[in-house]
Amino acid sequence: MLECDLIMKGGITSGIVYPHAITEIARKYRLRSIGGTSAGAIGAVIAASAEYRRQSAEPGHEDDGFSAISTIPDELGRDLQSLFQPTDKLQSLYGILIALINAPKGRNKALIFLKAAAFAYKVTAVLFAAPGLLIAAYAYWYDCGLGTIAFGLLLALVALIAAVAYRIYKNVADDLPDNDFGLCTGLQTRHSEVPAFTDWMADQIDRVAGNVGPDGKATTLLTIGDLKKHDIAIASMTTDLSSNRPYQLPLHTKIHYFSESEFRRLFPKRVVDYLVKKGAPYKDSGDDEPQDLHWLPVRDDFPVLLVARMSLSFPGLISAVPLYRVDYTRAKNSNGQHPMKRCLFSDGGISSNFPIHFFDALVPSRPTFGIALTGYEAERHGEGPASRTELPQEPLSHAHMPVFPVTGISGFLSAIINTAKDWQDSLQSLLPGYSERIVEIRLDDASEGGLNLTMDAAIIEKISGYGRQAGELVVNKFSFDEHRYRRAISSLPAMEGTLDKFSENYEAPAWPDGQKMTYEQILTTYESASYSNKPAWRLDPFNALAKTLSGIGKNAREAPQGKSVRGGRVPHTDSDIRLVASPDRVPADAGTSGGGV
């Protein structure tokens, strides 16, 4: 088969579009590297599970995994909302959220909020409003006058509002942080008879991968190492809020620990049992640190489920995942160890909601397709089913970015947040060599995808059909030859410009005061206090490579008209080639003992 990589954008329930998109693309392409963020990460692990089954199945059963994927929309259509199960203390707050989500368009949201809040905290509301209502009833019964009746009703209203406001405050200020800033942990609660979304994800991975016995129960836990045996890779983004940085999953550096008791509140038993067995216990915990810490397995031992769950922690709705690591910037504790600090890993979309840069190469050997999610507007996109999906055939530029008017304070704040977290993904997606491999699926924000947790079967069937359309566009309209040419005429001019500047700096003379060396002297004779190397290595290959690259840049700068790559008909792109920090891992020598293994 032809091979491809696949990236899927985050969007909570919008991920319902992915099953049919994946199955359509998989008819033509063997999936090699699959990634995404948040809901896109769920799509990635499910797709990887199906490809794993295809590569390891007995003859005649290669497509069983993708057939299993195709049934997911129908399954979710029966009761999508049941996947989101709030904890006992946060059920009232969740009820208010659902009431706001289901509010008819054009209705006063403030009134809906007040009504939903009074109902959600009805016991509290009745208890606190009762005195005022009794005063009003007494005044009415004994004809004490309208003033007394009004006073009783006003007292009841004020008491009701104050009591409900206090309960909301306690939920938000105390209970939500205690639940790691999510209404739902992801595990099935004692009030439910059906699995919650983390249980569901774990079951789907096993079912699609074929890791179940005759009784339908999981036999083995699918890991990164299992996928690697069949040349399958997955990746997603997560955000460590406590360290103010993103990480690419699966984790590669052995610096994190997990608390067994905390993980048992977030993950199925078989997953935690595996992690405890694989991760050695940490024996140097201080008195104020958890006593049940274990190393978090990394690389090949990393469970596929964690790739999705650590990326899917939508703030406020889904609990963040706590991990621990040594903070070497703090003083040592009574045990003579640097303290262990708790890190909260939240939604990957905070850092990169559409990591189209995953699996990137200057000269690609196979296409990396992207499936992007965006809002649908009839006046912008037109009418009819064909308006809901698009795969650009002509090169795009930054001038093609849509304009969204900013209105109201909520719209202003939302625009700030979305711009801060999405600008890099958005601009990257428009570059030639990128845009023609990204199929766009447009959903109506008012009723489709996103936070619409209560979508019915008809809506789910409709939007999952858009996923099928998107997959068909990729299979039928994408040209890999055209893509490679566009990629080359975007990358090579940028590379030439970078080498041109490199040559200028390399050949620049020493500073006039004689205190500064030329770059050639820096590379060959300067004595570094940090990195010592043998003189022979510094002359060749280190400086030899620098001279070669400088020569290429100089030739490009001095080339006559038409002999420079940049002198051709190439895209005018806002792009460059530079050293960029990677969220993938911490260097292997990070920290001191116990870190960076």
Distance CA 96, CA 114 (A): 9
pLDDT, tens only, 538-575: 999 999 999 999 999 999 988 887 788 888 888 777 77
Q: Which residue has the tokens 């002198």?
A: 567
pLDDT, tens only, 287-305: 788 999 999 999 999 999 9
Alpha carbon 154 to chain centroid distance?
Answer: 48
Q: Two tokens at 192?
A: 């439910």
Check: CB of residue 86 under 8 Å from CB of residue 183: yes
SS (H, E, C) 295-350: ECCCHHHCEHHHHHHCCCCCCEEECCEEEEEECCCCCCCCCCCCCEEEEEEECHHH
Q: What percent of the chain has pLDDT over 90?
A: 54
pLDDT tier, 596 (very low <50, low <70, confident <90, very high otherwise): very low
Q: What's the pLDDT score for residue 72?
A: 94
pLDDT, tens only, 341-398: 999 999 999 999 999 889 988 889 999 999 999 999 988 899 988 999 999 988 877 7
Per-residue pLDDT, averaged over 507-514, amounts to: 74
Weakest mean pLDDT among 256-265, 420-429, 476-485 = 420-429
Distance CA 384, CA 380 (A): 12
pTM: 0.89
Bridge pairing between strands 438-443 and 2-8: unpaired
- What Rg, from alpha-carbon coordinates, does the chain have? 29
pLDDT, tens only, 338-347: 888 999 999 9
Query: How confident is the prediction for the chain on average, in pLDDT?
Result: 89
Cα distances (angstroms) measured from residue 210 to each of 45, 50, 52, 54, 64 = 14, 8, 9, 10, 8
Burial 107-117 (b: 16+ CB within 10 A, else e): eeeeebeeebb
pLDDT tier, 113 (very low <50, low <70, confident <90, very high otherwise): confident
pLDDT, tens only, 389-419: 999 988 877 777 888 889 889 889 989 988 9
Distance CA 17, CA 222 (A): 24
Per-residue pLDDT, averaged over 197-226, amounts to: 91
pLDDT tier, 513 (very low <50, low <70, confident <90, very high otherwise): low
Per-residue pLDDT, averaged over 522-533, amounts to: 89
Q: Which of 457, 428, 459, 454 is nearest to 443 (CA)?
A: 459
pLDDT tier, 187 (very low <50, low <70, confident <90, very high otherwise): very high
Tell me which DSSP letter residue 175 carries: I
pLDDT tier, 515 (very low <50, low <70, confident <90, very high otherwise): low
Q: Is the pLDDT of residue 597 over 80?
A: no
Check: CB of residue 129 under 8 Å from CB of residue 159: yes
pLDDT, tens only, 17-63: 999 999 999 999 999 999 999 999 999 999 999 999 999 988 888 89
Check: CB of residue 290 under 8 Å from CB of residue 554: no
Check: CB of residue 33 under 8 Å from CB of residue 358: yes
Q: Give backbone dihedrals phi and psi of 368, rounded to 5 degrees, phi first.
A: -110, 100
Q: Which amino acid is at 317?
A: L
Q: How many CA atoms lie within 13 A of 521 on its CB side?
A: 9
Distance CA 96, CA 168 (A): 10
Q: Two tokens at 164?
A: 């409900």
